[in-house]
Amino acid sequence: MMDLSQAKICLVGLGYVGLPLAVEFGKKFNTTGLDINESRIKELNSGFDSTLEVEKELLASSDKLSFTSNINDAKACNVFIITVPTPIDEFKTPDLSPLYGASKAVGSVLSKGDIVIYESTVYPGATEEECIPLLEAQSGLKYNVDFFAGYSPERINPGDKEHRVTNILKVTSGSTPEAAQFVNELYLSVIEAGTHLASSIKVAEAAKVIENTQRDVNIALVNELSLIFEKLGIDTLEVLEAAGTKWNFLPFRPGLVGGHCIGVDPYYLTHKAQAVGYHPEVILSGRRINDQMGSHVSETVVKSMMKKRIHVVDSNVLIMGLTFKENCPDIRNTRVVDVIEELENYHVNVDVYDPWADAGEVKHEYDIDLVSTLENGKYDAIILTVAHDQIKAMGAEQIRKLGKETSVLFDVKYILDKESVDGRL
């Protein structure tokens, strides 16, 4: 196993996970940031990060970091860290194609003694069952003889300026005891919060996938509670705040569950569980509840409009917020689109406003044209779907002015007081 001082690192995938890590490693090691998106490389070389995860000054502070879209520029590297996305397909099954592509690319430049570390979220066993054979086939090298592997799951929270890559404790693992020690020491060199060395790659993979599965199930519980309390005529937030006075009550809130992790990772675990003959009950039922919340929001708003005798067909509805979470430009797997699609089934004219989302990316990904200016008195209904600071700052009075006199104002995120809205989850 190589000495840590000899490490020359290549970060494969420069998104929300890879770039912050590349910047930190680039302060201490010769580091190459690799991404197949050439426009991404251009913007990073110009000193700008469109994900807004890394400030310009921080990007400039990594004097040993360079960016490229050509894997051949990484031939001199001996540590490869793969941080590509692991989404699900239309059938809610794992889509490992980005991981396959990255593994084949790394395999083409792999040399004896190198180590490949995966950070992408996968099901337990995927690294050694799916990725390692690709590295062997492309390189002609033998696993744990000529090259080694590690797994250190990402824990990036997009948009969070308090919990950043260096102050979030990192789980590490390796394919041999020596590889595990090297991986652990490598991350300890940049992670101030420290590390937890897992006993195997499978344990580290499983630890990551259950982090978000646990959160998903907890949110599903409060979403189901909100559906029950709505029928009982009880305000959900008031119930949760009352219950929250007990020290060990968990402070989850109902809502739309999207993003690249919580709405995706449980399907990786359930896929593997079913492959080994176990049908998960709790996890999948939680997913079903969370996946139908967008439709529930739309149906509730439409019913409220009908109660006010607002003609639904050809009405104008404003959606305020599209990204998967507040104060973040990340639109991956946003479930706000479920609200929009359901409203369009009622032949409603939907405008979408989001001060954080990139209009071109939204158009490309969802074929939605964002509105950049808001017109007073236009809307029959307004739905607050993301708690961006800009939306919060508008306040109830300014938001109400956007609607007609009899409009419906529905608050998904508890942005406004109960008395200021016509309904909320």
- Residue 2 has what pLDDT? 86
- Residue 58 has what pLDDT? 81
List, for residues 263-289, the tens digit of each pLDDT value.
899 999 999 999 999 999 999 999 999
- Residue 241 has what pLDDT? 95
Q: Which of 27, 343, 264 is nearest to 165 (CA)?
A: 27
CA 182, CA 150: separation in Å to the nearest integer? 9
Residues serving a catalytic function are 261
Contact 96, 86 (CB under 8 A): yes
pLDDT at 243 over 90: yes
- Residue 53 has what pLDDT? 86
As a whole number, mean pLDDT of residues 339-347 equals: 96
List, for residues 223-240, the tens digit of each pLDDT value.
999 999 999 999 999 999
- Residue 226 CA to chain centroid, in angstroms? 24
